[in-house]
Amino acid sequence: MGKPTHIDNFGTVVCVGGGIGVAPLHPIAQALKKAGNKVITIIGARTKELIILEEEMKSIADEFILCTDDGSYGRKSLVTVPLKEICEREVKPDMVIAIGPPIMMKFCAETTRPYKVFTQVSLNTIMVDGTGMCGGCRVNVGNQVKFVCVDGPEFDGHLVDFDNMMLRLNSYKAIERNSHSCYLEKEIKEKEIAK
């Protein structure tokens, strides 16, 4: 949905994936590598068990960094720590693409901002109907209202109002928790009946 990812030879591109954000990042990193870019990949998750597509991402990366929040695998750090180190190199990257939880993308954009490294984020996780009619994926980008499903899903991370977006995403948390609890209760009852 939305607009296709713009693939070109940008130079050195840092691909940052958090959690399940690594899945949509993988074909983008592949295409960037095929287009002749130097691809530096940083993937992270809360724990080792939540790391996905490690070998696939490693196989296309010129440089690969793996982080876990708890230090159970790879480097113990958030993905923003190695991202900052890369931005501080003598030759900074030409572009960063970050896909993952909104809070991760927000801080990736804040990490690259002082270095003036263009940072593209993918807001694909907030889409609902895919037509722009429901308004569920409305996001403020710069001084404009955009709809992720038709105008995105990728935007300049330095222009996205992440705080507003996260506030809107949290508006249904109580309902989601209740639905999840009801689902778990139903599952437990069905297992008891099956016994």
Fold of 12-170: Rossmann fold (3.40.50)
User: What DSSP string describes 60-115?
Assistant: H-SEEEEEETTSSSSEES-THHHHHHHHTSSS--SEEEEES-HHHHHHHHHHHGGG
The ranges of the chain with pLDDT < 70 are: 125-132
Q: What is the reported pLDDT for 94?
A: 98
Strands (DSSP E) found in the chain? 12-18, 38-45, 63-68, 75-76, 95-99, 119-122, 138-141, 144-147, 154-156
C-beta of residue 146 within 8 angstroms of C-beta of residue 138: yes
C-beta of residue 153 within 8 angstroms of C-beta of residue 25: no
Q: Which two tokens stand for residue 107?
A: 């801080």
Angstrom distance (rounded) from CA 158 to CA 113: 7
Q: What is the reported pLDDT for 129?
A: 63
Task: Please report, for the chain, the start and end positions of each structural domain, with discontinuous segments joined by +.
Answer: 12-170
